[in-house]
Structure 1
Amino acid sequence: MPRSRSVTLDFAARGQLFSHLAAMEKAGVPVAQALLSVALPGRAGAALQALRAQVAGGRDMASAGLHSGLLTPLDSSLLSAAQSSGCLAAVYQRLAERYSYRAQQVAAVKSRLLMPAAVLVLALFIQPLPALVGGQLSIVGYLWGVLWSLLLLGALYGLGRGLYLRRQHAPAGAASPLDGLLANVPILGPALLRRNLRDFFDSLGLMLEAGMPMLDALPKACAVIRHAPLRKRFSTVQLAVQRGQSLAQALVSVDFPGQGLALGLIRTGEASGTLPASLLNYAGVETQKLDSLTEQLATWLPRLLYAGVMLWMAYGLLTGGGFGPRLPADVG
Structure 2
Amino acid sequence: MSVKKPSVTQQRLNSQQLALLFTQLARLEAAGLPTQQGISLIFKADKALQGYYMQLQNSLQRGASFAASGYKIGLFTANHYAILNAAENSGQLARVYHYLAQYYTRKASQLKKLKSRLMLPLLVLIIGIFLAPITDLFKQSISLSDYLKQTLGALLLLYISIYTTLNFAKIIAKLKIEADWHRLQLRIPAIKKWISQRQSNDFLTYLGLMLAAGLPFAEALPLAVNTLSNSVLKSQFNRLVSPRYLQAGHSAYSVLTSVQLLDKLALQIINSSEQSGKLADGLLHYTQQTAETLARQDEELAIWIPRILYSLIAIGMIVSIFTAYTARLAMLPS
Which TM class, normalised by the smaller chain length? 0.7 to 0.9
Paired residue secondary structure (2:121): helix
Distance (Å, rounded) in 2 between the aligned partners of 1:88 and 1:188: 37
Structure 2 stretches lacking a partner, 5+ long: none
Question: Where does residue 306 of structure 2 map in the other structure?
Answer: 302
Partner amino acid, structure 2, of 1:56: Q
Partner amino acid, structure 1, of 2:219: D
Question: Where does residue 157 of structure 1 map in the other structure?
Answer: 162
Distance (Å, rounded) in 1 between the aligned partners of 2:71 and 2:167: 19
- Do the aligned residues in 2 keep the contact of 1:201 with 1:279 (CA within 8 Å)? yes
Question: Where does residue 286 of structure 1 map in the other structure?
Answer: 290
Distance (Å, rounded) in 2 between the aligned partners of 1:272 and 1:99: 28
Are 1:213 and 2:222 an aligned pair?
no
The alpha-carbon distance between structure 1 residues 49 and 182, as it changes in their structure 2 partners (threshold 3 A), is: farther
TM-score normalised over the length of structure 2: 0.81
Distance (Å, rounded) in 2 between the aligned partners of 1:34 and 1:119: 46
Deviation of the 1:134 alpha carbon: 6.4
Deviation of the 1:223 alpha carbon: 3.5
> Percent identity at matched positions?
30
- Do the aligned residues in 2 keep the contact of 1:87 with 1:210 (CA within 8 Å)? yes
Question: Where does residue 63 of structure 2 map in the other structure?
Answer: 58
Question: Where does residue 21 of structure 1 map in the other structure?
Answer: 25
Deviation of the 1:124 alpha carbon: 0.6
Distance (Å, rounded) in 1 between the aligned partners of 2:290 and 2:101: 18
Paired residue secondary structure (1:237): coil
Deviation of the 1:149 alpha carbon: 1.4
Question: Where does residue 40 of structure 1 map in the other structure?
Answer: 46
Deviation of the 1:21 alpha carbon: 0.8
Deviation of the 1:321 alpha carbon: 4.7
- Do the aligned residues in 2 keep the contact of 1:16 with 1:96 (CA within 8 Å)? yes
What per-residue deviation string (whole Å, max 9, x for no partner) do you get for residues 233-281 of structure 1?
224334544334322222232221x421222222222344333333223
| Paired residues for 1:118-197 under 5 Å | 118-129=123-134, 131-132=136-137, 137-163=142-168, 177-178=177-178, 180-182=180-182, 184-185=184-185, 187=190, 189-197=192-200
Distance (Å, rounded) in 2 between the aligned partners of 1:159 and 1:328: 40
- Do the aligned residues in 2 keep the contact of 1:265 with 1:279 (CA within 8 Å)? yes
Distance (Å, rounded) in 2 between the aligned partners of 1:30 and 1:94: 21
Distance (Å, rounded) in 2 between the aligned partners of 1:163 and 1:32: 39
- Do the aligned residues in 1 keep the contact of 2:204 with 2:224 (CA within 8 Å)? yes
Partner amino acid, structure 2, of 1:47: Y
Question: Where does residue 173 of structure 1 map in the other structure?
Answer: none
Structure 1 stretches lacking a partner, 5+ long: 171-175
Deviation of the 1:80 alpha carbon: 3.7
- Do the aligned residues in 1 keep the contact of 2:96 with 2:213 (CA within 8 Å)? no
Are 1:11 and 2:30 an aligned pair?
no
Partner amino acid, structure 1, of 2:146: G
RMSD over aligned Cα atoms:
3.3
Deviation of the 1:35 alpha carbon: 1.1
The alpha-carbon distance between structure 1 residues 155 and 79, as it changes in their structure 2 partners (threshold 3 A), is: farther
TM-score normalised over the length of structure 1: 0.82
The alpha-carbon distance between structure 1 residues 215 and 328, as it changes in their structure 2 partners (threshold 3 A), is: closer
Equivalent residues, number = 322
Are 1:204 and 2:207 an aligned pair?
yes
Paired residue secondary structure (1:47): helix
| Paired residues for 1:262-281 under 5 Å | 262-281=266-285
Distance (Å, rounded) in 1 between the aligned partners of 2:84 and 2:192: 27
Distance (Å, rounded) in 2 between the aligned partners of 1:191 and 1:123: 32
The alpha-carbon distance between structure 1 residues 211 and 81, as it changes in their structure 2 partners (threshold 3 A), is: closer
Q: Comparing both chains, which one has the higher relative contact order based on Cα–Cα distances under 8 Å and sequence gaps of 6 or more?
A: 1
Partner amino acid, structure 1, of 2:259: V
Mean CA deviation greater in 289-298 or 16-25: 289-298
The alpha-carbon distance between structure 1 residues 156 and 6, as it changes in their structure 2 partners (threshold 3 A), is: farther
2:237 to 234, 239, 254: 234
Partner amino acid, structure 1, of 2:83: L
2:99 to 89, 94, 102: 94
